[in-house]
Chains A and B, each alone.
Chain A
Amino acid sequence: MSPVLKLIAQRISLGILLIFAVSILIFAGTQILPGDVAESILGQSATPENLANLRAELGLNEPALSRYFSWLGGIMVGDLGTALTSGTSISDAIGARLGNTLFLAAVAAMISVPIAILLGLLAVRYKDRWPDKVISATTLASISLPEFFIGYLLILVFGVKLGWFPTVATVFPEMSLGARLNAVMLPALTLTLVVLAHMMRMTRAAILNVMQSAYIETAELKGMTSFKIIWKHALPNAISPVVNVVMLNLAYLIVGVVVVEVIFVYPGMGQYLVDHVAKRDVPVVQACGLVFAAIFIGLNLLADIISILSNPRLRHPK
Chain B
Amino acid sequence: MATDQTEKDFLDIRDLKIGVTVREPGEPPRDITIVHGVSTTLEKGKVLGLIGESGAGKSTIGLSSLAYGRGGVEITGGEVFINGRDILKLSRGELNNLRGREVCYVSQSAAAGFNPAHRLIDQVIEASLEHGLMTKAEAEDRARYLFEALSLPDPDTIGERYPHQVSGGQLQRVMTAMALCPKPDLIVFDEPTTALDVTTQIDVLAAIKNAIDVTGVAALYITHDLAVVAQVADEIMVLRNGEMVEHGPTSQIIEAPQEDYTRALVSVRSIVHPEQAPTDTPLISMENIVAGYGNLVTVLDDVSVDLHPGQTLAVVGESGSGKSTLARVLTGLLPARSGQITYEGRTLTNAQKDRPLEDLRQIQMIYQMADTAMNPRQTIGTIIGRPIEFYFGIKGAELKKRIGEMLEKIELPAEMASRYPAELSGGQKQRVCIARALAAEPKVIICDEVTSALDPLVADGILKLLLDLQKRENVAYMFITHDLATVKAIADSIAVMHLGKLARYGTKEMVLSPPFDDYTDLLLSSVPEMKLGWLENVIATRKMESAGN
Residues of A near any B CB (own CB < 8 A)? 213-215, 217-225, 228, 232-233, 236-237, 312-313, 316, 318
B100 in contact (CB, < 8 A): yes
Q: Which residues of B contact A217 (CB under 8 A)?
A: 70, 107, 113
Contact-size category for B: 20 to 34
Determine how close the nearest CB of chain A comes to the CB of B360; give it in whole angstroms.
41
B165 in contact (CB, < 8 A): yes
Sorted nearest first, the 10 A-B pairs with minimum C-beta distance are A223-B99, A222-B100, A223-B100, A214-B112, A236-B117, A223-B96, A222-B127, A215-B115, A221-B105, A218-B113
Given contacts A221-B66, A223-B131, contact A237 B99 (CB under 8 A): no
Q: In the complex, what residue of chain A is closest to B98 when comparing beta carbons? A: A223
B409 in contact (CB, < 8 A): no
The answer to whether B114 and A215 touch across the interface, beta carbons within 8 angstroms, is: yes
Q: Which residues of B contact A218 (CB under 8 A)?
A: 105, 107, 113-115, 123
Q: Which residues of A contact B104 (CB under 8 A)?
A: 221-222
Q: Which residues of B contact A237 (CB under 8 A)?
A: 115-117
Q: In the complex, what residue of chain A is closest to B165 when comparing beta carbons? A: A318
B367 in contact (CB, < 8 A): no
Q: From residue 94 to 130 of chain B, which have CB atoms closer than 8 A to chain A?
A: 95-101, 104-105, 107, 109, 112-118, 123, 126-127, 130
Identify B164's interface contact among A214, A228, A236, A312, CB under 8 A: A312
Chain A binding surface SS class: helix
The answer to whether B164 and A313 touch across the interface, beta carbons within 8 angstroms, is: yes
The answer to whether B100 and A224 touch across the interface, beta carbons within 8 angstroms, is: yes
The answer to whether B130 and A228 touch across the interface, beta carbons within 8 angstroms, is: yes
- Give Cα distance in the complex from A219 to B96, angstroms: 10
23 A-B contact pairs sorted by A residue (CB < 8 Å):
A213-B112, A218-B114, A219-B115, A221-B100, A222-B126, A222-B130, A223-B95, A223-B131, A224-B96, A224-B100, A228-B130, A233-B115, A236-B115, A236-B117, A237-B116, A312-B116, A312-B162, A312-B164, A313-B116, A313-B162, A313-B164, A316-B162, A318-B164
Q: In the complex, what residue of chain B is closest to A224 when comparing beta carbons? A: B130
B420 in contact (CB, < 8 A): no
Determine how close the nearest CB of chain A comes to the CB of B157; give it in whole angstroms.
14
User: Known contacts A223-B96, A223-B100; can you find 13 more A-B pairs with CB under 8 A?
Assistant: A213-B112, A215-B112, A222-B127, A223-B127, A223-B130, A224-B100, A224-B126, A225-B96, A236-B115, A237-B115, A312-B117, A312-B164, A316-B165
Scoring B residues 457 to 471 as 1 if CB is less than 8 Å from chain A, else 0, what string do you get?
A: 000000000000000
Most B C-beta atoms less than 10 A away, residue of A219, A220, A223, A237: A223
Q: Which residues of A contact B101 (CB under 8 A)?
A: 223
- Give Cα distance in the complex from A237 to B162, angstroms: 14
B68 in contact (CB, < 8 A): yes
The answer to whether B109 and A221 touch across the interface, beta carbons within 8 angstroms, is: no
Determine how close the nearest CB of chain A comes to the CB of B209; give it in whole angstroms.
22
- Give Cα distance in the complex from A232 to B114, angstroms: 13
- Give Cα distance in the complex from A224 to B70, angstroms: 17
- Give Cα distance in the complex from A225 to B407, angstroms: 56
Q: Which residues of A contact B164 (CB under 8 A)?
A: 312-313, 316, 318
Given contacts A215-B113, A215-B115, A236-B117, contact A221 B130 (CB under 8 A): no
Determine how close the nearest CB of chain B comes to the CB of A208; give it in whole angstroms.
13
Q: Which residues of A contact B165 (CB under 8 A)?
A: 316, 318
- Give Cα distance in the complex from A215 to B105, angstroms: 12
- Give Cα distance in the complex from A221 to B189, angstroms: 13
Q: Which residues of A contact B95 (CB under 8 A)?
A: 223
Determine how close the nearest CB of chain B comes to the CB of A133; give it in whole angstroms.
15
Q: Which residues of A contact B113 (CB under 8 A)?
A: 214-215, 217-218
Q: Which residues of A contact B114 (CB under 8 A)?
A: 215, 218
- Give Cα distance in the complex from A220 to B92, angstroms: 11
- Give Cα distance in the complex from A110 to B66, angstroms: 44
Given contacts A222-B130, A223-B131, contact A214 B109 (CB under 8 A): yes
Q: Which residues of B contact A213 (CB under 8 A)?
A: 112
Q: Which residues of A contact B116 (CB under 8 A)?
A: 215, 237, 312-313
Determine how close the nearest CB of chain B comes to the CB of A258; give it in whole angstroms.
38
The answer to whether A223 and B68 touch across the interface, beta carbons within 8 angstroms, is: no
Q: Which residues of A contact B130 (CB under 8 A)?
A: 222-224, 228
Q: In the complex, what residue of chain A is closest to B119 when comparing beta carbons? A: A316
Scoring B residues 32 to 72 as 1 if CB is less than 8 Å from chain A, else 0, what string do you get?
A: 00000000000000000000000000000000001010100
Q: Which residues of A contact B127 (CB under 8 A)?
A: 222-224
Q: In the complex, what residue of chain A is closest to B128 when comparing beta carbons? A: A222
- Give Cα distance in the complex from A92 to B407, angstroms: 79
- Give Cα distance in the complex from A313 to B131, angstroms: 30
- Give Cα distance in the complex from A227 to B202, angstroms: 39
Determine how close the nearest CB of chain A comes to the CB of B38; give it in whole angstroms.
21
Q: Which residues of B contact A224 (CB under 8 A)?
A: 96, 100, 126-127, 130
Determine how close the nearest CB of chain B comes to the CB of A188; give it in whole angstroms.
35
The answer to whether B97 and A223 touch across the interface, beta carbons within 8 angstroms, is: yes
Q: Which residues of A contact B66 (CB under 8 A)?
A: 221
Q: In the complex, what residue of chain B is closest to A313 when comparing beta carbons? A: B164
Q: From residue 125 to 184 of chain B, which have CB atoms closer than 8 A to chain A?
A: 126-127, 130-131, 161-162, 164-165
The answer to whether A222 and B112 touch across the interface, beta carbons within 8 angstroms, is: no
Determine how close the nearest CB of chain B comes to the CB of A53; give it in whole angstroms.
60
Q: From residue 436 to 464 of chain B, which have CB atoms closer than 8 A to chain A?
A: none
- Give Cα distance in the complex from A312 to B119, angstroms: 10
Determine how close the nearest CB of chain A comes to the CB of B320; give it in whole angstroms.
17
Q: Which residues of B contact A219 (CB under 8 A)?
A: 115, 126
- Give Cα distance in the complex from A214 to B98, angstroms: 20
Q: Which residues of A contact B117 (CB under 8 A)?
A: 233, 236-237, 312
- Give Cα distance in the complex from A218 to B68, angstroms: 11
- Give Cα distance in the complex from A237 to B115, angstroms: 9
- Give Cα distance in the complex from A220 to B107, angstroms: 13
Q: Which residues of B contact A236 (CB under 8 A)?
A: 115, 117-118
- Give Cα distance in the complex from A32 to B99, angstroms: 70
Q: Which residues of A contact B70 (CB under 8 A)?
A: 217
- Give Cα distance in the complex from A218 to B66, angstroms: 12
Determine how close the nearest CB of chain A comes to the CB of B88; give it in whole angstroms.
16
Q: In the complex, what residue of chain B is closest to A215 when comparing beta carbons? A: B115
Q: In the complex, what residue of chain B is closest to A234 when comparing beta carbons? A: B115
- Give Cα distance in the complex from A222 to B101, angstroms: 7
Identify B68's interface contact among A220, A228, A312, CB under 8 A: A220
Q: Which residues of B contact A225 (CB under 8 A)?
A: 96
Q: In the complex, what residue of chain B is closest to A221 when comparing beta carbons? A: B105
Q: In the complex, what residue of chain A is closest to B112 when comparing beta carbons? A: A214
Q: Which residues of A contact B96 (CB under 8 A)?
A: 223-225
- Give Cα distance in the complex from A313 to B166, angstroms: 12
Q: Which residues of A contact B107 (CB under 8 A)?
A: 214, 217-218
Q: In the complex, what residue of chain B is closest to A318 when comparing beta carbons? A: B165
The answer to whether A221 and B126 touch across the interface, beta carbons within 8 angstroms, is: no
Determine how close the nearest CB of chain A comes to the CB of B461; give it in whole angstroms.
33
Q: Which residues of A contact B68 (CB under 8 A)?
A: 220-221
Determine how close the nearest CB of chain B comes to the CB of A24; give it in whole angstroms.
32
